[in-house]
Structure 1
Amino acid sequence: MRHRSRNTVSAVLVALACLFAPCGVLAGWAAYGLADTGRYVATMAPLAGDPAVREAVADAVRDGVLAEVAAGSPADTGAVPPLGTVGPFVHDAARSFTRTEAFRAGWEAGNRAAHDAVLRALRGHGGPATVDLAAVTTPVKRQLVQEHVPLAERIPVRHTAVTVLPAREVGRLRRGYQLLDVAAFWLPLAAVAFAVTGIAVAARRRVALTAAGLGTAAGGALLALAVLLGRRLTVAAPPGTIPSPAAGAVYDALTATLRTAAWCLVALGLTVSLATWLTSRLRRPRTTTPPQTGGPTGP
């Protein structure tokens, strides 16, 4: 009965450890990866050279320019700009711009400004997250001027606040961010503590260690599967007007570390389980058969 109670407690603790391990990895990835501006910008920077992202930016620039042209047409004369003729030229110009260093500078500045604004809102005390467009257009203008692009000096640098996170969503997201920050610290510690305690109190520690390894591997596999399903859902229904290829590229860049961590859990769990099984096989005593005697002895 005593051994049964110990094994029950051990099984519960090991199960909790295997549950907390992938949850801790997920929380740590979000808190220390996505919530760090430097890491976020470094992760997003290579996407400036991704063809799908460049094409999405070129489409957005074309639509924005054509909307401005349409809005600026004289209403009293009924003149309509030849958008069907202008559109391809604008798109080609925007596509060429996405291959320049100025675009890379603007891409990095835009991501940094947006990320800083969101973090300030989540860590502050209310109000929407806004980005000053001057912080984005200034490095782009500077780069274009250095490259002697015609009329680059006349590009206006306006201090216009653009909302990237509405005030009505800040409160809910702030509570989630605070909970995530706490979970990222305590969940990994709890997983290790539960695993060590569960193995220590087990009547058969080798079996408990094997179970902990297999459970950790299963948790890592489930986390990797969740990342894969998340990508399919993101590509199937991308946020806003982002095309599916660009959304997939962004998702892959942001979750690269998470995928690696998930497969590290799988490798760690399988390694522990295999090592435990091999050591148990090597330490198992060999059974020896007693020597057989000769034929029957005489009377």
Structure 2
Amino acid sequence: MPPRLRSALSAALITLSCLLVPFGALAAWAAYGLTDTDGYVTAMAPLASDPDVCNAVADTVGAGIMREVDDRFDVRPMRGTVGPFVHDAVRSFTQTAAFRLAWNAGNRATHDAILRALRSEDDELEDAVTVDLAPVTAQVKRQLAHDHVPLAARIPVAHTAVAVLPAGRLGPLRKGFHVLEVAGFWLPVAAVVLAGAGIALAVHRRRAVVAVALGTALGGALLGAALAVGRRLTLADLPADVPHSAVGAVYDALTATLRTVSWLLVGLGLAVALTVWLTRYVRILYARTRDLPARPGFGNETVRAERGAEGR
């Protein structure tokens, strides 16, 4: 194969490999990282102590309790008095170990329910995936009763289903999930195979290795930039009544592994490129030192001495 054709094919394969790096990392994270229930619960666990998340939970659960109380008892004249007690009770509950246990259990149940729905082969299943907040409401009711808040003992503990996946959209989500499961394995494999083929075809393989390394680092940087842009777009699309800080904390917790991967790609790519460049520089420097001409007054005398010794 002509050298020019080999160089062109090598460049094309290396470019395609580097383009697949961020997409392969994203697909692998979605297919293997997000589907690991234990990993998901571990990632979400620190949010039980996050002030923004706790405030959002207190607002949501407190508002739900007040709605139930308004429906059962006409306490609208007392809302200004009872409402702060309810919110404070919920906020106090979020500081307890019981809340952290409930938080982890709720996240595990939610994750399991979503995975079952996405992996189901029943195309007719279009019910929304929901989470029941009744256990949290029951804990808050006991706390209010303990604090002697009026009507606390009569607060109804309703099984309120909060939709985490909307009805009617499971079909497209299920198809996309199956595509991610396939892409999460094959995209990284394809990136490695294409990079290896590009290096093997290259006329100057050292340069090809450097190109792959720098392309990998660039792919990691693009992945990190995409995560930052995705966070900004996610928060920008939220309704005004949704706490942006809490959603941002959840986004950061979910994508923490992916951000680490992006930094690892950048660091690994730059390290390999620098190592290859340094080894080439050392070899060139060593070759030049071997080929240096002898210095006047020193090298010539040494050469003459060596020749005289050989003559003797």
- TM class by shorter chain equals 0.7 to 0.9
> Aligned residues, how many?
286
With 158-167 and 52-61 compared, the bigger mean Cα shift is at 158-167
Q: How much has 1:260 moved relative to structure 2?
A: 0.3
Q: Residues 85-124 of structure 1 correspond to what in structure 2 (within 5 A)?
A: 85-124=81-120
Indicate conservation of the 8 Å contact 2:131/2:164, yes or no.
no
Matched, 1:180 2:189: no
Using the alignment, how far apart are the partners of 1:58 and 1:201 within structure 2?
A: 61
Using the alignment, how far apart are the partners of 2:112 and 2:146 within structure 1?
A: 30
Tell me the residue number matched to 2:242. 242
Instruction: After superposition, give the CA deviation of every residue in 1:28-82 in whole Å (9 maximum; x if it has no partner).
Output: 11111112222111111110011110011011122112222222345xxxx7442
What secondary structure sits across from 1:286 in the alignment? helix
Using the alignment, how far apart are the partners of 2:295 and 2:55 within structure 1?
A: 84
Indicate conservation of the 8 Å contact 1:44/1:111, yes or no.
yes
Using the alignment, how far apart are the partners of 2:275 and 2:227 within structure 1?
A: 28
Q: How much has 1:163 moved relative to structure 2?
A: 3.7
What secondary structure sits across from 1:207 in the alignment? helix
Instruction: After superposition, give the CA deviation of every residue in 1:67-109 in whole Å (9 maximum; x if it has no partner).
Output: 22222345xxxx7442122211111111111111221122112
Tell me the residue number matched to 1:279. 279
Unaligned ranges ≥5, structure 1 = 295-299
Indicate conservation of the 8 Å contact 1:14/1:194, yes or no.
yes
Residue 174 to residue 42, structure 1, CA distance change in 2 (3 Å): same
Residue 162 to residue 95, structure 1, CA distance change in 2 (3 Å): closer
Indicate conservation of the 8 Å contact 2:17/2:195, yes or no.
yes
Indicate conservation of the 8 Å contact 1:9/1:198, yes or no.
yes
Q: How much has 1:240 moved relative to structure 2?
A: 8.1
Q: How much has 1:276 moved relative to structure 2?
A: 1.0
Tell me the residue number matched to 2:127. 128
Q: How much has 1:5 moved relative to structure 2?
A: 0.4
Indicate conservation of the 8 Å contact 1:217/1:268, yes or no.
yes
Letter in 2 for 1:235: L
What secondary structure sits across from 1:164 in the alignment? strand
Residue 175 to residue 240, structure 1, CA distance change in 2 (3 Å): farther
Using the alignment, how far apart are the partners of 2:295 and 2:126 within structure 1?
A: 90
Residue 293 to residue 277, structure 1, CA distance change in 2 (3 Å): closer
Tell me the residue number matched to 2:30. 30
Q: Residues 130-279 of structure 1 correspond to what in structure 2 (within 5 A)?
A: 130-131=129-130, 133=132, 137=134, 162-238=162-238, 241-279=241-279
Letter in 1 for 2:176: G
Indicate conservation of the 8 Å contact 1:213/1:273, yes or no.
yes
Q: How much has 1:166 moved relative to structure 2?
A: 2.6
Instruction: After superposition, give the CA deviation of every residue in 1:94-128 in whole Å (9 maximum; x if it has no partner).
Output: 11111112211221122112111111111112332
With 168-177 and 152-161 compared, the bigger mean Cα shift is at 152-161
Please say which structure displays the higher CA radius of gyration.
Answer: 2
Residue 106 to residue 242, structure 1, CA distance change in 2 (3 Å): farther
Letter in 2 for 1:106: A
Sequence identity percentage: 55
Residue 142 to residue 41, structure 1, CA distance change in 2 (3 Å): same
Indicate conservation of the 8 Å contact 2:56/2:246, yes or no.
yes
Unaligned ranges ≥5, structure 2 = 298-312
Residue 116 to residue 58, structure 1, CA distance change in 2 (3 Å): same
Residue 149 to residue 41, structure 1, CA distance change in 2 (3 Å): farther
Tell me the residue number matched to 1:12. 12
Tell me the residue number matched to 2:300. none
Matched, 1:82 2:84: no
Root mean square deviation of aligned Cα: 3.0
TM (normalized to structure 2)?
Answer: 0.81
What secondary structure sits across from 2:275 in the alignment? helix
Using the alignment, how far apart are the partners of 1:246 and 1:36 within structure 2?
A: 23
Using the alignment, how far apart are the partners of 2:232 and 2:68 within structure 1?
A: 35
Using the alignment, how far apart are the partners of 2:140 and 2:87 within structure 1?
A: 21
What secondary structure sits across from 1:269 in the alignment? helix
Q: How much has 1:242 moved relative to structure 2?
A: 2.9
Tell me the residue number matched to 1:297. none
Q: How much has 1:155 moved relative to structure 2?
A: 8.8
Residue 32 to residue 154, structure 1, CA distance change in 2 (3 Å): farther
Indicate conservation of the 8 Å contact 1:25/1:261, yes or no.
yes
Residue 4 to residue 59, structure 1, CA distance change in 2 (3 Å): same
Residue 149 to residue 103, structure 1, CA distance change in 2 (3 Å): farther
